[in-house]
Structure formats: structure tokens, C-alpha cells
Amino acid sequence: MTGAEEQRKRKIRRTALIMAAIAVAFYVGFILMGVLRA
């Protein structure tokens, strides 16, 4: 695997993890908002 491919692979994993983290943050955030209001 060339350096460029390795770099692209890293970018793919990083973007996927950031997106997954955003999704989890929305999920937890809204439940937390419910807890704080209850």
C-alpha cells in the first residue's frame, strides 16, 4: 500500500469516527436534556 493510500485510509477512519461521535453526542445529549428537565 502506498503512502497516499495509507493516508487516505487514515482520513476515512478519522471522518467515520468523527461522524459516529457526533451521532452519539446527539443521542446522549437529548436524553440528558430530558433527564435535566424531568
d(CA 31, CA 21): 15
36 belongs to the binding site for other proteins (CB under 8 A): no
The number of beta carbons lying within 10 Å of the beta carbon of residue 14 is 10
> Binding marks (x or -) toward other proteins, 9..28, rule CB under 8 A?
x-xxx-xx--xx-xxxxxxx
Query: Is the sign of the CA dihedral 14, 30, 35, 37 positive or negative?
Result: positive
3 belongs to the binding site for other proteins (CB under 8 A): no
Which residues here bind other proteins, judged by CB under 8 A? 1, 5-6, 8-9, 11-13, 15-16, 19-20, 22-31, 34-35, 37-38
